Structure formats: structure tokens, C-alpha cells
């Protein structure tokens, strides 16, 4: 398989959208590169007494619409091109959601599973020390990402506040509730996706009868989506999968029973009364709605002709390859792109930041009500642009984002 440079792929997407709206060359050039690249190497003392030097990044893509915003990931595969692509993608996503942030991303090249909890805390604090000069609640606001969580964010905020000498909870989002985190953050990405799906099925004439759904991936996002759809009579989840494989049942799957089996055995495979399938098989099932919520590049030119779903809701990042995108659009399959479908997480991160700045704490029902408003409004904005230019929803989302960012850049240049 050819290695795809993720940053080159994002730039191609940018250029495609820029052509549709005749974006001026100067703005295109500015958006093609991050505003700032921070690369750090920092020492951490391990439990053995050995001092190991780690390699980290913070990429700040664009802040025309507000502070840079984006997660910090701890993973052995973290590299410059990946983090640059993710920072660009966060600029696009925040603009699509119309929240006042730009895009950033950070990461440390490390396998956190090889660290003790004490070493993980030391690593987290050392990384924040290394990038403290370029972050801040009005400058750059990190958050959790792959292999990072609320506990790690709490350590990072604590370290940052020691460095600056004052309380600044809004410097990082995704914190625990006890440390200024927002109600509803754990389910935000899935719930945001559900609000978008509810809006989309009316637009694409899928709102008659019970809709059959297949969900690939049962991590936090896929698992919560399974639960939400199971509670809504409009939908019937007939297939789910995890890293070990999948199951399908024409009669539908019960969330509590399936997840109980997964908890006991480590997988959904083998659940009574279902047929075992592979993750690849799940994508090709004859369902109304397909929800990839696991890995990137799942729908490709190799299997796109076997996709039977009428609507694809991308809760994973980049599950549909560009060539497959075009083919699905030509066949009339609606793909709700990741930068719209999974924008609920960053939206509630924005709510957390807003609460911290105002020293407020909102009830979960208020968070969900505000989230629904943002998700539905964003979907309808993207839908209107897709109709105006006769383009698919992914291109429409990029057109909307680039238009909003370039407007903010022009305003700030006055």
C-alpha cells in the first residue's frame, strides 16, 4: 500500500475548494502553511532513574477566527506531517461549526502504554513546560486526543498554572468535571453526530420507516452512537463491530445485551443469535445508514462499488478515500463528512472554554440544547452551499470553512 502524506492530501482538498469560490492566491498561499511550527525535545526522568529525551510538536495553523484549538496526542507514530494535517483540519472544523477558534494540534512521539502512571504524569508536565510560551486561553487552547484524557489535561493545566503563577483553567479543555470540565463532554461527539444525522435524513428523503444502521467501531464515539440510536425508534442498529470483528442480525441489536457480552468476552463476536462478519463485510451490508467510527481509509476505490448504504455518516476521521468520495457522490450516496459529522466534541470544548472564562458551570441539558443548535445550523449551512454549487457535502464544508476564515483574515487586515 502506498504511503499517503496526510498533509499533501489536505492541501489538495484546500485547492479543490479554493477553485470553486475563486479564492485569491495570497489567501490560498497563507492557508497552505501553518502560521507557526513548534518542535521541542524535552527530558523526562523514568522510574528507573534513567533520563529519556522525548520529541514533541505543537502546530498552529491559523488563528484568524480565534485562538488556535486542537488536541494533544501521545502515540509512537506522531510525526510532523500528521500533526500539520490535523492542525489544518481543526481550522476547517472550527470554521464549519462557526465557533471562534482557529486550528492547532500537538503530539509527542511515545508509546504511552510503555509508561507507568508516574512517568506519564512527568511526560505530560514536561511537554507543557516545553510549549508553555506558545499556549494560553487567548492564544492556543489544547485538549485531549489519541491516548490522552481528562486526568492528563488536569496535570497539564496544573503545570501551566505553576509556570504562569495564576489560575487559568481555560488554557486547556477536556478536563475532568472537578477541574472545570464541561457536563456532557464524554458523549458530545456521538450526540453531535446524532443531531446531524436526524437533520440529514429529512433532507435526503430517508425519514420514512425504520432505518437500518451499521456501525463500524465501538470505542467511545461508536459505542455512544449505538446507545443513542438504540433509544430512538426511527433507527434499528443491525450490525456493529470492534477490532476483533463484527456481528449482524436482521432483527436488530440490543445495546445493553451486546455491550454486556463485549464487557465479558472482550468483543461483540460470538453474541448469541447473530452472524459473525468482518469489519470489511460490515461496510458492504445492505443498510440505509453506514457509520464508520473507527479508522481512516475504510471506504476505498477497492470496495466503493460494494457500498450499499444510502447515507454515510463519518464519525471517524478520514474514513473515506478521495477517489471513493467521488464515486459515492456520482451514485447519489450522501456522505456527511467528518469535519461536520464529528464536530460535537470541539463544540463542547468551546462551551467548556466559554464557561471557564466566565467562571460559570452549565447544566448538561443546557449544553445539549446549545450543541443541537450549533450542529443543526452547521449542517444546514453546508447543505445550502452543496446545493448552490452542486457539489458534495465534503467540498461544501471546505468551501464554507475557507470562506469564513478568509473573511476573518480580510477583517483583521483592515
Q: What is the mean pLDDT of residues 260-287?
A: 96
On whether the CB atoms of residues 148 and 73 are closer than 8 A, the answer is: yes
Q: Is 105 a catalytic residue?
A: yes
What is the predicted pLDDT for the residue at 26?
94
233, 276: one domain: yes
Instruction: Give domain status of residue 401, yes or no.
Output: no
Residues 105 and 246 both lie in one domain: no
Cβ-contact 174, 146 below 8 angstroms: no
Let me know whether 152 and 56 are in one domain: yes
- Residue 22 grid coordinates: 475563486
Q: Residues 193, 268: one domain?
A: yes
Domain membership of residue 405 (yes or no) is no
Catalytic residue among 105, 175, 212, 262: 105
Residue 120 covered by a domain = yes
Residue 265: give its domain's CATH number. Answer: 3.40.50.720
Question: Does residue 5 lie within any of the structural domains?
Answer: no
CA 86 distance to own-chain centroid: 10
d(CA 292, CA 315): 6
Domain that residue 108 falls in: 33-167
Residues in Cβ contact with 255 at an 8 Å cutoff, skipping those fewer than 6 apart: 226, 227, 230, 237
* Any domain includes 16: no
| Other Cβ atoms within 10 Å of 89 Cβ, number | 23
> Average pLDDT of the chain?
95
Q: Please report where in the chains the cell 473515506 appears, as a residue.
A: 320
Cell digits of residue 196: 446531524
Same domain membership, residue 163 and residue 76: yes
> DSSP label at 23?
-
Q: What is the pLDDT of residue 2?
A: 44
Res 3: pLDDT: 59
Q: Which tens digits make up the pLDDT trace of 31-47?
A: 999 999 999 999 999 99
Are 140 and 223 members of one domain? no
Total structural domains within the chain: 2
Quote the radius of gyration of the chain (alpha carbons, Å): 21
Q: What is the rounded end-to-end Cα distance, in angstroms, of the chain?
A: 48
| 129 lies in some domain | yes
111 lies in some domain: yes
* Spatial distance between the Cα atoms of 384 and 78, rounded to a whole number of angstroms: 37
How high is the pLDDT of residue 4? 61
Asked, for residue 180, whether it belongs to a domain, the answer is no
Amino acid at each position: 500500500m502506498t504511503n499517503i502524506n496526510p498533509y499533501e492530501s489536505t492541501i489538495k482538498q484546500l485547492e479543490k475548494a479554493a477553485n470553486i469560490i475563486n479564492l485569491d492566491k495570497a489567501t490560498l498561499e497563507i492557508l497552505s502553511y501553518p502560521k507557526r511550527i513548534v518542535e521541542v525535545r524535552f527530558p523526562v526522568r523514568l522510574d528507573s532513574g534513567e533520563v529519556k529525551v522525548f520529541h514533541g510538536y505543537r502546530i498552529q495553523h491559523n488563528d484568524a477566527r480565534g485562538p488556535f484549538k486542537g488536541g494533544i496526542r501521545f502515540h509512537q507514530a506522531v510525526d510532523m506531517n500528521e500533526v500539520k494535517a490535523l492542525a489544518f483540519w481543526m481550522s476547517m472544523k472550527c470554521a464549519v461549526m462557526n465557533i471562534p477558534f482557529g486550528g492547532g494540534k500537538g503530539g509527542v512521539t511515545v508509546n504511552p502504554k510503555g509508561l507507568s502512571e508516574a512517568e506519564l504524569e512527568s511526560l505530560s508536565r514536561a511537554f507543557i513546560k516545553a510549549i508553555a510560551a506558545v499556549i494560553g486561553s487567548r492564544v492556543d487552547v489544547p485538549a485531549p486526543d489519541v491516548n490522552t484524557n481528562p486526568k492528563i489535561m488536569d496535570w497539564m493545566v496544573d503545570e501551566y498554572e505553576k509556570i504562569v503563577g495564576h489560575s487559568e483553567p481555560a488554557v486547556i479543555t477536556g478536563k475532568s468535571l472537578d477541574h472545570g470540565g464541561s457536563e456532557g463532554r464524554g458523549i458530545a461527539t456521538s450526540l453531535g453526530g446524532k443531531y446531524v444525522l436526524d437533520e440529514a435524513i429529512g433532507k435526503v428523503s430517508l425519514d420514512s420507516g425504520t432505518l437500518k444502521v451499521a456501525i463500524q467501531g465501538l470505542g467511545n464515539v461508536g459505542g455512544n452512537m449505538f446507545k443513542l440510536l438504540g433509544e430512538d425508534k426511527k433507527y434499528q442498529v443491525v450490525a456493529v463491530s470492534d477490532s476483533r470483528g463484527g456481528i449482524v442480525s436482521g432483527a436488530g441489536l440490543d445495546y445493553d445485551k451486546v455491550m454486556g457480552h463485549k464487557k465479558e468476552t472482550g468483543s461483540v463476536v460470538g453474541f448469541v443469535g447473530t452472524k459473525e462478519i468482518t469489519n470489511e463485510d460490515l461496510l458492504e451490508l445492505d443498510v440505509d445508514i453506514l457509520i464508520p467510527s473507527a479508522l481512516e481509509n475504510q471506504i476505498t476505490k477497492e470496495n466503493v462499488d460494494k457500498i450499499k448504504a444510502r447515507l454515510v455518516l463519518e464519525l471517524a476521521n478520514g474514513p473515506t478515500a478521495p477517489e471513493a468520495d467521488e464515486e459515492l457522490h456520482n451514485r447519489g450516496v450522501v456522505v456527511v463528512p467528518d469535519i461536520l459529522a464529528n464536530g460535537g466534541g470541539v463544540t463542547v470544548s468551546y462551551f467548556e472554554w466559554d464557561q471557564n472564562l466566565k467562571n460559570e458551570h452549565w447544566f448538561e441539558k443546557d449544553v445539549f440544547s446549545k450543541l443541537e443548535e450549533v450542529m443543526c445550523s452547521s449542517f444546514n449551512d453546508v447543505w445550502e452551499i452543496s446545493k448552490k454549487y452542486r457539489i458534495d457535502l465534503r467540498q461544501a464544508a471546505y468551501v464554507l470553512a475557507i470562506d469564513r476564515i478568509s473573511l476573518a483574515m480580510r477583517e483583521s487586515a483592515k
